[in-house]
Chain A
Amino acid sequence: MKQRKIRILIAKPGLDGHDRGAKVIAKFLQESGYEVIYTGLHQTPEQIVNAAVQEAVDAVGISVLSGSHNYVFTEVMRLMAEKGLGDVVVFGGGTIPEDDIPELKAAGVKALFRPGTPLEEVLRFMKENVG
Chain B
Amino acid sequence: MVQTPPPALAAGIEKFVFPGETEPVLAGISLTLVPGSLTAVLGGSGSGKSTLGRLLAGWLLPGDGGTLTGFFELAGTTVRFTGTAADPQIDPGRWGRQVGFVPQDPAGALSTVRVTVAEELAFGLENAGVDRASMAGAVRDTAALTGLAHLLDRDPATLSGGQLRRLAIGCAVIQRPAVLVMDEPFASLDTDGAEVLAALVRNLAQDGTAVVIMSQRAEPFLHTADTWLVLTGGTVAATGTPAEIVAAGALEMAGVIRPRPLTVARPRAGVDYQSAVNGPTALELRDVSFTYRRTRRRGWFKSQPGPPADPVLHGLSLTLDAGEILAVTGPNASGKSTLLRHLNGLLQPTAGSVLVQGRNIGGHPAGQVSRDVGLLFQQPRDQLFERTVEREVRFGLGRDGLAADQAVQRALAAVGLDHLAGRHPAELPASQQRLLALATVLARRPSVLALDEPTVSLDGPGLDRLDRVVRSTTADGNAVVLVTHDLDYARSIAHRLVCLEAGRLRGI
Do A and B belong to a common assembly?
Answer: no
